[in-house]
Amino acid sequence: MKCALLAMLILSATTVHADPFGPTRDRNQVATFAFGLDGPAHITGAYGHTLRTDVLPGPITLGGQLRLPWSPDASDVELGLVSNLDAPIAGRWRIRPMLGLIYRRADGSLLDVDQITMDVGATAGFVAAGWHAGVTTRWDHALLTHATPDDNYRAMVPAARDVWTAAGGGTLRLGIEGGVTLGAIDLIGRVGAFRSERLAMIPGLPVYAELGAAFSF
């Protein structure tokens, strides 16, 4: 039973951080459950509702996501409003641009940081009946950051004070994606490079690797 639960968790580790929902299926709702590694190890869940209109070139999915570090605590959290559009390029070639507005909080050992970011990305590739593959990218850019030094840091650096800034900062991801479809479930894997938005190395691994599942219903 434990093994089955573990396997379920691993299989459900999703790609929601790089793309909230995966390829759109012929259903109206999608839920994703995940854990992954891109910088910190994290756990993610997302829910989206798919709309089909005559105005857009393909179905658009709108929803929300919750992302937590693998050892969750109330002070480190990410909440987002996310969307993707599943648009045809030619034949089975498709592109899924995504857009998100994310609130993120980190309670660090020196600073507490609250941040609102804009996330823009796209996944482009070949989508067959039972599988898909492509390249994927995502730019996460801070619109507003509030940093508060904690007491230990203030004790060392008395001049440190609260900062509000819109000066940016952010991350870039560029990778490849592949997946298989099993009924209503898409199992998806991604690997790629992870850098700051100015291509500096971010502490931790310089790559991300994710494996996940999206359930359409």
The residue whose two tokens read 């099993």 is 182
Q: Which of residues 19-38 bind another protein (CB under 8 A)?
A: none
Q: In whole angstroms, how far apart are CA 24 and each of 77, 150, 161, 192?
A: 27, 44, 46, 22
143 binds another protein (CB under 8 A): no
Name which position in 23, 48, 149, 212 contacts another protein (CB under 8 A).
149
Work out which of 14, 44, 115, 136 binds another protein, going by CB under 8 A. Answer: 115
Quick one: 9 or 157, whose CB is closer to another protein?
157
The reply to whether 147 sits near another protein by the rule CB under 8 A is yes
Q: Are strands 170-182 and 111-127 parallel, antiparallel or unpaired?
A: unpaired
* 167 part of the interface to another protein, by CB under 8 A: yes
Q: Does 169 bind another protein (CB under 8 A)?
A: yes
Task: Round to whole Å and give the CA distance between 186 and 199.
Answer: 31
Site for another protein in 174-193 (CB under 8 A): none
**In whole angstroms, what is the distance from residue 13 CA to residue 43 CA?**
8
Counting DSSP H helices and E strands in the chain, the numbers are: 2, 12
Token look-up 């959290």 returns 77
Which residues here bind another protein, judged by CB under 8 A? 39-42, 69-71, 76, 104, 106-111, 113, 115, 140, 142, 145, 147, 149, 152, 156-157, 159-161, 163, 165-171, 195-204, 206
